[in-house]
Amino acid sequence: MRYKLLLLVLIGSLLAVVAAGCGAEEAAAPEPGAPEPAAPATVTHLRFTLDWAVQGPQAPFLVALDKGYFAEEGLSVVIDRGFGSADAVSKIAGGAYNLGYADVNSMIEFNANNPDQALVAIAMVLDYAPFSILTLSDRNITSVSDLEGRKLGAPSGDAPRRLFPAFARTVGIDANSVEWTSMDPPLREPLLIQGEVDAISGFYFTSFLNLTAGGIDESDIVAFLYAEHGLELYGNAVIVPPALLEQNPEAMRGFLRALTRAWHDTLADPEEAISIIKRRDPLIDEEVELARLTLAIEANMLTPDVLERGFGDVRPDRLEEAIGIVVETFELPTTPAPDQVFDGSFLPPLEDRLPRS
């Protein structure tokens, strides 16, 4: 009997504890009609590749990362240096990176040869491609017509060299009259300085600064920028697989909002942008990279179209013409429609993208 009484006491105590627990849960439950508690914020992880080493013109991406603009959009972004646009395009298409920064002309060529892995550009960062021919004043090349019959140098895969026939058609010179000498990239400017070639092709803001670093005075450098001579090709863009746009459109909109903010910051304070790059790569020469960024802003970022259409957008008729030039020059098997090359629907509104005075 005593054991039965003890058992009843224990059962009663257990029931009291359970009842108390249930009461606690009811007390913690929200009142009828109260809003549901917010779900934990999700973070989207993105791997991003640049086109080349970290330099001044790539500043907007590093500024967005350093200032937390990507994080504010719920994005965890890892940015790696690149090894050329063709390599970046291939790695994005292959899945090594979610998205990246590369020459849109290289993307067009890749898409034509790999239609099952085709990519799309969603924001044009370099509105004018930085393609150019550079020479020195003592070579007596004062106009593009003087390039005929001369010896030019560049790496065999150099984009401005490969597009030189289109430049020649645009300015009315015979591309076949030019003799090309192939060389490794580090030898391009030194061989021009040594007189081994009469001129070189290259990215304007890179070759110009390499020449000054080699002891050439700025006044002795003669540059023919393709865009300034009527060949208005587009340059580097944010490039993604279409599947990413379908799977996570809000992440892409957030990425471009963050990048647009950083683009404005870069234009407003280039020196701050370079200091941010310096924290990423302490070995850079701040003076050189500031000059490189300044050249890119003036020649490639703040173009007439950008002043009218804002950061990231393209002009449809110009894009269609540029696609045709690339297809003809590279002898591509198909001609993509403009909407297969560029999708501007993920950009922020125009008022957020126009340059600030």
The 10s digit of each residue's pLDDT in 53-66 is 999 999 999 999 99
Tokens describing residue 214: 């080699």
Mean pLDDT, all residues of the chain: 90
Res 41: pLDDT: 64
Do 311 and 346 lie in one domain? The reply is yes
User: How many domains are there within the chain?
Assistant: 2
Do 213 and 257 lie in one domain? The reply is no
Residue 34 has pLDDT above 80, yes or no: no
| Residue 11's pLDDT band (cuts 50, 70, 90) | very low
| 144 within domain boundaries | yes
Bridging pattern class, strands 131-136 and 120-124:
unpaired
Do 146 and 113 lie in one domain? The reply is no
| 324 within domain boundaries | yes
Distance in angstroms (rounded) separating the CA atoms of residues 210 and 226: 19
Report the run of H or E that residue 50 belongs to, with start and end.
Answer: none
Instruction: Pick the last residue of a domain from 205, 229, 253.
Output: 229
Q: In terms of Cα–Cα distance, which of 319, 311, 315 is closest to 349?
A: 311
pLDDT tens, position by position, 116-140: 999 999 999 999 999 999 999 999 9
Do 251 and 119 lie in one domain? The reply is yes
Do 110 and 243 lie in one domain? The reply is yes
Instruction: Pick the last residue of a domain from 195, 229, 263.
Output: 229
For the purposes of burial, counting CB atoms within 10 Å of the CB of 163, is it exposed (0-12), middle (13-18) or buried (19 or more)? buried
| 37 within domain boundaries | no
Q: What is the CATH number of the domain that holds 326?
A: 3.40.190.10
| Residue ranges making up the domain that contains 279 | 44-126+234-353
What are the φ and ψ backbone dihedral angles of 286, each rounded to 5 degrees? Answer: -60, -40
| 329 within domain boundaries | yes
Q: Are 49 and 82 in contact (CB under 8 A)?
A: yes
**Rounded average pLDDT over 142-156:** 97
Do 238 and 349 lie in one domain? The reply is yes
**Rounded average pLDDT over 88-102:** 98
Residue 33 has pLDDT above 70, yes or no: no
* Residue 187 CA to its chain's centroid (Å): 26
Q: In terms of Cα–Cα distance, which of 162, 144, 155, 274 is closest to 207?
A: 155
What contacts 185, CB < 8 A, 6 or more positions away?
155
Beta bridge mates, 45: 76
| Residue 42's pLDDT band (cuts 50, 70, 90) | confident
| 10 within domain boundaries | no
| 215 within domain boundaries | yes
Instruction: Pick the last residue of a domain from 166, 199, 229.
Output: 229
Q: In terms of Cα–Cα distance, which of 123, 45, 60 is closest to 261?
A: 60
pLDDT tens, position by position, 290-321: 999 999 999 999 999 999 999 999 999 999 99
**Rounded average pLDDT over 141-150:** 98
**Rounded average pLDDT over 78-96:** 96
Do 345 and 250 lie in one domain? The reply is yes
pLDDT tens, position by position, 151-203: 999 999 999 999 999 999 999 999 999 999 999 999 999 999 999 999 999 99
Tokens describing residue 291: 């000059």
pLDDT tens, position by position, 211-245: 999 999 999 999 999 999 999 999 999 999 999 99
Do 151 and 115 lie in one domain? The reply is no
Do 60 and 139 lie in one domain? The reply is no
